[in-house]
Amino acid sequence: MRIRGLYIALLVLGLLTGLLYWSNHHKPANDSVKASADTPPKILSINEADLIKVDLHRKEGEQVALVRGATGSWEIVAPRPMTADQSVVASMLGNVSTLNAERVVDEKATNLGQYGLQAPVLQLDLTSKNNKSQKLLMGDNTPTGSAVYAMIAGDPRVFTVASYTKSGIDKTANDLRDKRLLTLEPDKISRIELKQKNQDLEFGRNKEEWQIVKPEPLRADSSQVADLLSKLTQARMEAGSEDQKAAASAFASGAPVGRFQITGESGAQQLDVRKNKNDYYAKSSVVAGIYKVSSEISQAFDKKLDDFRNKKLFDFGFDDPEKVEVREGSKIYGFGRKGDDWLSSEGKKLDSSGVQQLLGNLRSLRATKFAVSGFSNPEMEVRVTSGEGKRVERVQIAPSGKSYIGKRENDSTLYELDSSAVADLQKSAAAVKSAETSKK
């Protein structure tokens, strides 16, 4: 009986071993499909820097071709030559340079028509430096609409890729073109001219400092000039400019708003702006055609000379000066900085909070408007030395009716000042105390 039981056990063990061997070597065919579906394959892997040509072919609509120039920048050559927006092109290529499929739907497709790939909806041809070309074909949407059927030319497999991938690639020439109407880089611009019927303004830049050149040399509010420059360099072609015949007609019959001209190292560029009803149209000297532009451009023309003038009496900004001297009648207040400490003219250490209050009042001293006369018999004079002794600003302040007028040395401009601002300045100068006194 024991021998018989042993034979039965050996027989069962042999059957189990055989089944295990058969199972490991005869997996169902759909298991490989499932494994492939669970591991999205990489469709494309391209070094963007090696690409020299990109062609977009559509089943319907215009064909677009881009080439990389000698400088490394992309240019549109079809449907017509245009400057490309480098960031938009880079974004489009980023969608395909390392493209993964969602899944494989057909390992060896024989009927491409059922996927819309017999005549692809979109074909992207990518050519590298070595003249190696890869073609990405995109067909119909999947039944759920969340993906698109796709394949690589020469590969029999059909994949699905996310629908947003297609939308990131399917760009028209208008999508890819540089929509700037003035193409000089802001930091390279050294001169701005604004011409209107009633005013002619010109600004010049020396390093980072803007000055008014016309109608006469004046201190400029750099933040206002920078805002003007931003509006100019951000002027873009707006939607509605595609119909060039209509845009040209609207420009021709529009009322002239003004003209801008900017100058940089590579020359000058000009923008003429006109208004037709509630819309604005512009003609650029560097981009062919007429284009509708944002109404924000009109804000640049709304400003007058005084809007661009610097209303502050002192330029030392947020850096602590080295020396401050205030004279008010027979009173003289002198403060000097040594390291982190402020000292009186007698060498006594001062309470820094009082000095900072005075400096704050000097920084905020600004004109409420510009006067044409009224400056005489100054009662107060302030001298500030900053920039490691390289900048010395001297301002005289005189009473004028219920307000005051300030005048900078070597500057004919008269700055009308609010009486309360002058009172605060006087009080803060008198309130500076020694460090020992402030502790008591």
Residue 234 token pair = 């951000």
In whole angstroms, what is the distance from residue 101 CA to residue 107 CA?
13
Confidence (pLDDT) at 26: 40
The answer to whether the predicted template modeling score (pTM) of the entire model surpasses 0.95 is no
* Whether 14 contacts 7, CB under 8 Å: no
Residue ranges of E strands in 121-254: 122-128, 133-141, 147-152, 158-162, 189-195, 200-206, 209-214, 218-219
In whole angstroms, what is the distance from residue 390 CA to residue 367 CA?
25
Which DSSP letter does residue 41 get? P
pLDDT tens digits, one per residue of 58-115: 999 899 999 999 999 999 999 999 999 999 999 999 988 888 899 999 999 999 999 9
Query: How many residues are listed for the chain in this entry?
Result: 440
Question: Which of 158, 161, 166 is CA-nearest to residue 124?
Answer: 166
Each residue's pLDDT tens digit in the chain (440 positions)?
A: 445 554 555 454 555 555 444 444 443 344 334 434 456 788 888 889 999 999 999 999 899 999 999 999 999 999 999 999 999 999 999 988 888 899 999 999 999 999 999 999 999 999 999 889 999 999 999 999 999 999 999 999 999 999 999 999 999 999 999 999 999 999 999 999 999 989 999 999 987 789 999 999 999 999 999 999 999 999 999 987 888 999 999 999 999 999 999 999 999 999 999 999 999 999 999 999 999 999 988 888 899 999 999 999 999 988 889 999 999 999 999 999 999 999 998 899 999 999 999 999 999 999 999 999 999 999 999 999 999 999 999 999 999 999 999 999 999 999 999 999 999 999 999 999 988 765 55
* Whether 141 contacts 163, CB under 8 Å: yes
Which DSSP letter does residue 237 get? P
Place of tokens 């820097």: 49
In whole angstroms, what is the distance from residue 2 CA to residue 390 CA?
112
420 phi, psi to nearest 5 deg? -70, -35
CB-facing half-sphere around the CA of 40: CA atoms within 13 A: 12
Confidence (pLDDT) at 438: 59
CATH class of the region 323-439: mainly beta
List the domain boundaries for the chain.
Answer: 37-176, 186-308, 323-439
